[in-house]
């Protein structure tokens, strides 16, 4: 991925735009190439201008420091953990919308309407086409089996994607079994946890390991990149836990800020982002699964086949995230 960038837009300029009769201000962790076309279509259809600040990190902290004087109406995130952090920092408020409740399944939105999922990504297992022609793991639990010793690559256990997966295992199996599972996965690692999800697939293609855990949309991104297609072509996709709870899902999402000077317009934008038009854009451009069930995934993603996903609420899974973080340290996963 190309690095995200931070616009130097100062708060006074941002605030001056807020004075316009029809505007909405967005702090975004999501990349400009993905969301700007949707914002443009929203403006065309509603007349509401969208002003955006992009950043890699620090937006929750910025909202907290700005307090009630923040010009931001919405926070867009690329991962569920940032939504949770925003709620814990008390920089969000409930958004009441029948449209959002209709478009977004309950497991992908907060019970108190503090955040809403906009896209899904499955936490896949991928395996070497050449070296795992049989006996591939079929569940997350399988990753701890001794027959996979020295075969697994993952990113840091402290990364948000890994922490949320571990929290989901805790939610289903309890602390003791989850700790045994994470210890087993650690024992099966082929190398010290490192790199991003794409780096795990690259490592398989280079023979450093045979099995990895990645987010599904990275497969689409690699297949769209001529320099990385060979990495993606070196693996087969496994949708884990099809015989029981289903594959773990993470989300990107949106939250209404506690300050929200343009609350009504902000909710209109949230509703648009959950609409069929915007959801189709997410699906085609970034190969993410739409949360809106009326919208099909991209043709590429559909070619991977249908699967059962874990319907346990992300809000419930989030309650185990602190335990997941402690567990990573307890088993010395990254060491």
Lowest average pLDDT, out of 13-27, 55-69, 90-104, 270-284, goes to 13-27
Mean pLDDT (the chain, rounded): 93
**11-120+250-297 shares its CATH topology with 122-247+315-330:** yes
What pLDDT shows up at residue 21?
58
Q: So where are the chain's domains? A: 11-120+250-297, 122-247+315-330
% the chain with pLDDT above 70: 94
Q: Is the pLDDT of residue 332 over 80?
A: yes
**Is the pTM higher than 0.75?**
yes
Pair of tokens at residue 228: 């990385």
CATH of 11-120+250-297, one of 3.40.50.620, 3.40.190.10, 3.30.1550.10, 3.40.50.2000: 3.40.190.10
pLDDT average, residue stretch 90-96: 98
The whole-angstrom separation of Cα 39 and Cα 48 is 9
pLDDT band at 3 (very low <50, low <70, confident <90, very high): very low
Alpha carbons 136 and 313: distance in angstroms, whole number: 28
pLDDT one-digit tens code per residue, 145-170:
999 999 999 999 999 999 999 999 99
CATH superfamily of 122-247+315-330: Periplasmic binding protein-like II (3.40.190.10)
What are the phi and psi torsion angles at 33 (to 5°)?
-60, -30
Q: What is the pLDDT of residue 8?
A: 37
In this predicted structure, the answer to whether residue 5 has a pLDDT above a threshold of 70 is no
The mean pLDDT of 9-31, rounded to a whole number, is: 67
Check residue 280 and give its pLDDT.
Answer: 97
Predicted confidence (pLDDT) per residue in 169-200, tens digit: 999 999 999 999 999 999 999 999 999 999 99
The pLDDT of residue 79 is 87
Give the pLDDT band of residue 14 (cuts 50, 70, 90).
low
């Amino acid at each position: 991925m190309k690095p995200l960038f931070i616009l130097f837009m100062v708060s006074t300029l941002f605030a001056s735009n807020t004075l316009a009769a029809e505007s909405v201000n967005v702090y975004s962790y999501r990349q400009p190439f993905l969301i700007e076309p949707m914002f443009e279509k929203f403006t065309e259809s509603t007349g509401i201008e969208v002003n955006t600040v992009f950043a890699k990190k620090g937006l929750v902290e910025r909202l907290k420091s700005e307090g009630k004087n923040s010009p931001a109406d919405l926070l867009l995130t690329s991962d569920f953990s940032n939504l949770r952090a925003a709620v814990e920092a008390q920089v969000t408020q409930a958004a009441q919308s029948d449209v959002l409740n209709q478009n977004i399944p309950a497991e992908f939105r907060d019970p108190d309407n503090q955040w809403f999922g906009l896209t899904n990504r499955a936490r896949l297992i991928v395996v070497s086409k050449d070296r795992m022609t049989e006996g591939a793991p079929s569940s997350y639990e399988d990753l701890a089996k001794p027959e996979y010793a020295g075969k697994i690559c993952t990113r840091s256990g402290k990364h948000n994607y890994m922490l949320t997966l571990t929290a989901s295992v805790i939610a289903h199996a309890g602390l003791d079994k989850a700790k045994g599972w994470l210890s087993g996965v650690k024992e099966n690692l082929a190398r010290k946890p490192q790199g991003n999800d794409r780096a795990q697939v690259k490592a398989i293609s280079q023979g450093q390991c045979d099995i990895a855990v990645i987010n599904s949309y990275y497969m689409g991104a690699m297949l769209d990149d001529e320099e990385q297609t060979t990495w993606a072509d070196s693996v087969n996709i496994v949708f884990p836990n099809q015989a029981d709870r289903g594959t773990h899902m993470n989300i990107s999402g949106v939250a209404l800020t506690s300050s929200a000077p343009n609350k009504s317009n902000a909710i209109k934008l949230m509703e648009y982002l959950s609409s069929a038009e915007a959801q189709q854009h997410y699906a085609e451009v970034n190969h993410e699964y739409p949360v809106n069930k009326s919208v099909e995934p991209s043709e590429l993603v559909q070619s991977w086949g249908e699967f059962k996903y874990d319907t346990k609420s992300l809000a419930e899974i989030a309650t185990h995230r602190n335990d997941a973080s402690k567990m990573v340290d307890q088993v010395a996963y990254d060491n």
